[in-house]
Chains A and B, each alone.
Chain A
Amino acid sequence: MRSRWRWLMAISLAASGAQAQANGWNMPVGVTDVSSDIYGLHMTIFWICVVIGVVVFGAMFYSLFRYRHSKGAKAAHFHEHTSVEVLWTAIPILILVGMAVPATATLKNMYDSSDAELDVMITGQQWRWRYEYLGEDVAFTSNMSTPRTQISGEEARGEHYLLEVDEPLVLPINRKVRFLMTSDDVIHSWWVPDLAVKQDTIPGFINENWVKINEPGIYRGQCAELCGIDHGFMPVVVHAVEEEEFENWLADRKEAAEQEAMGVDREWEMDELVERGESVYQSICSSCHQAEGQGAPPAFPALANNEQLISDVDWHLDKVINGVSGAAMPAFRSTLNPVELAAVVTYSRNAWGNDTGDVVQPSEVAELIAQ
C-alpha cells in the first residue's frame, strides 16, 4: 500500500513542484522523511483538485459559451436525473477515500514519538523560546537577534531579517529527537517548515512531537500562534549538525553551565553585574518593559522611576523571581540563573535614573530561590 502511494507522490513531485519550490512559491520538501511525505500529500491533493477543477469548470464554461441566450439558445427543461446524481455522489467519495489512506499512514507516523534518542523540552514564552536538553543539564533561551533598528527601517535589513536568533537550537542529524512542548504563558506554536513540525505549546500541558533530520543545515521558522504584541518577532532557528559536532557542542555547553554555577559563590562587582544585567534586560525584559524601562502602561508597568521598585529591594526581587500570578509577568526563578537574576535586578536598580546604588549578589539570590 505504502509503496504505491509513494509512487504517486513521486510523479506529482516531478510533475510540478521542483520549479515552484525553488522559487519559494510552494511548500518546502524539507529535510525529514515526514516533511517529504507531507509534501507528497500536498501535491497529490493539489493535482486531484486541479483535475476536478478542470472538469467542472470545463463543463461550466462550455455551457456558458455554447448555450448563450444572445446566440438564440433555447432552454431545455430537464431538472433531475437520478443515476447521474448518484454517480457524482459516489465518485467523490471514492476520491476522498483515496486521499484518506496515505494521509492516515503519514499521520500515524507523525504521532509515533517512541524510541527517541534525545529529549528536548521546548517552552514558549512571550516572546522567546526556551530549550532544555533533558537529562543533560543544558538549557538556554533563544531570542530574536534582528535589531529593532532594522525593523523600523533605520538600518538596512539583513538576509535573515526576523528569522535570526541569538542562540539556535542545535540538533544532531540522523537521530530521532523527541520534543516535549509546553508554554509558560499563552499558547505559542513552534514551527519549522523544513522539519514539518508545527505544534502548539499549551500552558500547563505537554505536547509531543519528533524529528529525524536527514541533512545538516540551518532551518528557520516562526511562532505560528498569535501570542501577543511580539508574536511576529519570535523566530525559531534550528542548527542541524553531524553527530560528532553535536556531542562536542553539548559538552561545551555543559562546561559553560558549570562555570556559571561557580560564579554564584563569588563576590561580583557592580560594573560586572550592570553589564551582564543590561544584556539580560535587553534580550528578555525589554519586550514588555521597553528598552528604557519606560514600560507600556497599563499593560506593562514602567520600571524607570518606579517608586516602589526604588524603595524596596525585596519586593523587586520577589517580582522578578516569582513573577505576578494572574498577570503577564513571568516567574524567572527557573528560566534565569542566579547570576542573571542578580545582574538584571542590579541593572534595573541603577539604570534609567533609578540611581539607587544597590548591588544584589548572585549568592543572595541563590539563597532566596532555595527558600
Chain B
Amino acid sequence: MAPNMPPQPPLQHSTTAVADGQSHGHTAPPKGILRWLLTTNHKEIGSLYLIFSLTMFFIGGIFALVVRAELFQPGLQLVEPEFFNQMTTMHGLIMVFAAVMPAFTGLANWMIPLQIGAPDMALPRLNNFSFWLLPVAFTLLLSTLFMPGGGPNFGWTFYAPLSTTYAPPSTTFFILALHIAGISSILGAINIIATILNMRAPGMRLMDMPLFVWTWLITAFLLIAVMPVLAGVITMMLMDINFGTSFFDAAGGGDPVLFQHLFWFFGHPEVYIMILPAFGIVSAIIPTFARKPLFGYASMVYATAAIALLSFLVWAHHMFVVGLPLVAELFFMYSTMLIAVPTGVKVFNWVTTLFRGSISFESPMLFALAFVVLFTIGGFSGLMLAIAPADFQYHDTYFVVAHFHYVLVPGAIFAIMAGVYYWLPKWTGHYPNERLAQWHFWFSIIGVNLTFFPMHFAGLAGMPRRIPDYALQFADFNLLSSIGAFFFGASQLLFVLVVILCVRGGKKAPAKAWEGAVDLEWTVPSPAPLHTFETPPVFHRTSH
C-alpha cells in the first residue's frame, strides 16, 4: 500500500542528552514554586498537565460517585434533584475538559518532542501560558457550585433555553470559564502543530513519525477548527442572557435548535479529540509488546485523517429526535455509519499486529488490549445509535450513557493509563511496580464493566438519563452500576499509589525500557534529563 516503513529506526544519533544545567544558554531554573510557575520546559509542563488532569479526574469522579450514590436505590435519598443535576453536569464538564483533554496534552508535551527529536515545544512560553490558564479556568468553573442559585445544572451539553433564559445566575461565570479553557486548548494545539511540523529531527519525514505524533497532529487540527466554534456559541449564549439578543429564542426569530447545531459541530469532533491520541498510544504499545512492527502504518494514518474529516459531517446524529427534516436525518445517518469503516481499519490493524507476534503482558499492554476490546464494544453501540430510526428509542437513555462511557473510560482513560505505565520508566527512571499495576488492571476491568455494562440494559428497558430517581424496574441495574462505580473508583487509588511509588523509586529502567520499543524516546536515558536533543539527532530510516 504505502512505500514507507513504519518508524523503527535502528537509530544512530549524534547526541542523546545534555545533563541538566550544563547546557549553554540555560540559566539555573528558579527554585521552589516559582520554578513550576515559570517553567518553559516541555517535560515539566507535561508533568503539570498530568498532575492537573489526575486531580480533576478525581474531582469529576467524586461527582460521578454522588450521582451513583443517589441512584443506588429508587427514591430521593442523598441529594436534591437540583444538586443532582449540578453533579451530572459538572461530572461531564470536568471529565471532558479538565481530565481527558489535559491528560492527552500532558502526554503530548512530554512525548512529542522526545519522539520527533526536538529539544522542546516550538513555542515554550506559549506552552506555559496554555497550562496556567487551566487552573484559572477550572477554579472559576468549580466555584460556580458555591454561587447563589448553584452551579450549571443543564447538562454538559447545556442546551438553550434551559441554559439561557432558565439558567441560574452563575451561568455567566460558567461561560467565561469555558472561554478561558478554550483559549488554553487552542493555544496548546497551535503549539503542538508548530512543533510537529517544524521541529522534527533532520531526516524524519511526516510518514516516519510515530502514530502518537500523527494522531496528535490531526487532533490539534480538530481542536483549532472546533474550539472557536464553541467559543462562538457560548458567546451567543452570553449575549442572550445578558444583552437581550434572541439567537436561541423563536420569539425574536432565533431557534433553540441552532444552539444544538453549533454545539455539536464542536461536540462531535470533540469526542474524537478524546479518542484519536488514545489510538496513537495504543498503536505504540501493541507493537512494542508484540515485538512486531505495527501492521498497516500508512493505512493507520489515512484512517485517522478520514475519521477526523468525517467528524465534521456527522454532528446531527446527536439530534435525531429534535425534528430535523428527513433529508438531513438520512444524510447524518449515512455519514455517521461511514465512520465505522476507518475505525474498523484501525481495529483490524491492531489485531493483525498481534497475529504472529511474540506477545507479553506487561501492564501497559494489558490496558492497551482491554482498550481494543472495550472500545470496540463502545463503537458497536455507537453504530447502533447511528441508525436514526433506532435512535428514537435509544436517545437520551442510559444506552447512550453506556455507549459513551465504553469509549471514554475503558477507551480514553484506559489508553491514558496504558500510556502512563508505558512511559513512566522514561519519566522517572524506574519501572512501575508490576504486581500492583496488574492488580490495578484487573480491578479496573471488573469495575468498569460492572459499572457500565448494566447501563445498556437499563437504557433499553427505558431509563432516561439525567434523572435523580427512577421507576422500580430499573432498580437492579442501577444497584449493580453503583456498586461497580465505587469499586472502580476505589481501584483508582491503586493507580495513584503505583505512580507515587514509581516516582520515589523502584527497579531501575535502562534507556530502552521495553524490549520491543523502537521509537526515538527510547534512545535518551531514563529518566529523561531535563534537556534532551539540544543538538538535533540524526534520524535514520532502515532502507527496505
Contacts and interface: CB of A to CB of B under 8 A. Distances in A.
A160 B77 CA distance: 19
Interface in A172-230: 181, 185-187, 189, 191, 193, 196-200, 202-205, 207-208, 221-230
B250 A203 contact: yes
Interface string A90-104: 001100100110011
A80 B298 contact: yes
A226 B250 contact: no
A75 B377 contact: no
A332 B149 CA distance: 25
A232 B81 contact: yes
A82 interface: yes
Contact of A103 (B299, B333, B348): B333
Contact of A80 (B2, B166, B373): B2
B290 A157 contact: no
A26 B459 CA distance: 8
A200 B388 contact: no
Interface stretch (B13-21, B126-134, B154-162, B184-192): B154-162
Contacts of A308: none
Interface in B344-394: 344-345, 347-348, 351-352, 354-360, 369, 372-373, 376-377, 380, 383-384, 387-390, 392-393
Nearest to B373: A57
B77 A153 contact: yes
A53 B393 contact: no
A149 B347 CA distance: 51
A160 B471 CA distance: 7
A205 B260 CA distance: 14
Given A68-B359, A69-B291, A232-B467, A63 B473 contact: no
Contacts of A191: 396, 464
B357 A202 contact: no
Nearest to B369: A64
A327 interface: yes
A60 B356 CA distance: 11
A204 B337 CA distance: 32
A41 B348 contact: no
A80 B300 CA distance: 11
A199 B525 CA distance: 59
Nearest to A50: B380
B1 interface: yes
Contact of B166 (A41, A89, A205, A228): A228
Contacts of A14: none
The size class of the interface chain A forms with chain B is 35 or more
Contact of B359 (A42, A73, A84, A221): A73
A99 B387 CA distance: 8
A111 to B, nearest CB: 5
A181 B323 CA distance: 10
B317 interface: no
Contact of B355 (A59, A230, A328): A59
A108 interface: yes
A232 B468 contact: yes
Interface string B298-341: 11000000000000000000000111001001100110011011
A76 interface: yes
The size class of the interface chain B forms with chain A is 35 or more
Contacts of A203: 161, 250, 256
B321 A25 contact: no
B366 to A, nearest CB: 11
Contacts of A56: 347-348, 351, 376
Given A76-B357, A96-B341, A153-B75, A59 B351 contact: yes
Nearest to B351: A60
Contact of B162 (A99, A228, A296): A228
Given A59-B355, A151-B76, A203-B250, A100 B337 contact: yes
Interface string A228-257: 111111000000000000000000000000
Contacts of A70: 360
B256 A187 contact: yes
Contacts of A75: 290-292, 356-358
B395 interface: yes
A159 to B, nearest CB: 8
Contacts of B466: 226, 231-232
B297 interface: yes
A132 interface: no
A77 B464 CA distance: 50
B176 interface: no
Given A63-B357, A103-B333, A227-B162, A24 B471 contact: no
A242 B325 CA distance: 33
Interface in A114-157: 126, 150-153, 157
A38 to B, nearest CB: 5
A99 B161 CA distance: 36
Given A88-B348, A107-B333, A157-B472, A204 B85 contact: no
A191 B359 CA distance: 49
A240 to B, nearest CB: 17
A28 interface: yes
B414 to A, nearest CB: 16
B52 interface: no
A79 B293 CA distance: 6
A81 to B, nearest CB: 8
A104 B168 CA distance: 41
Given A73-B357, A103-B389, A185-B161, A221 B462 contact: yes
B11 interface: no
A74 interface: yes
A88 B344 contact: yes
Contacts of A198: 321, 392-393, 395-396
7 contacts: A63-B357, A67-B359, A77-B292, A80-B298, A107-B326, A162-B470, A228-B153
Interface of B: 1-2, 6, 74-77, 81-82, 85, 148-149, 153-155, 159, 161-162, 165-166, 168-169, 249-251, 255-257, 290-299, 321-323, 326, 329-330, 333-334, 337-338, 340-341, 344-345, 347-348, 351-352, 354-360, 369, 372-373, 376-377, 380, 383-384, 387-390, 392-393, 395-397, 457, 460-462, 464-473
Given A56-B347, A67-B290, A161-B472, 17 more contacts: A42-B384, A42-B387, A64-B354, A68-B358, A75-B291, A80-B296, A100-B337, A151-B76, A160-B471, A162-B471, A186-B162, A205-B257, A226-B162, A229-B153, A231-B85, A232-B469, A296-B82
- Which 9 pairs, one residue from A and one from B, show the smallest C-beta to C-beta distance? A204-B250, A232-B467, A207-B323, A49-B380, A69-B360, A75-B358, A76-B356, A63-B354, A75-B292
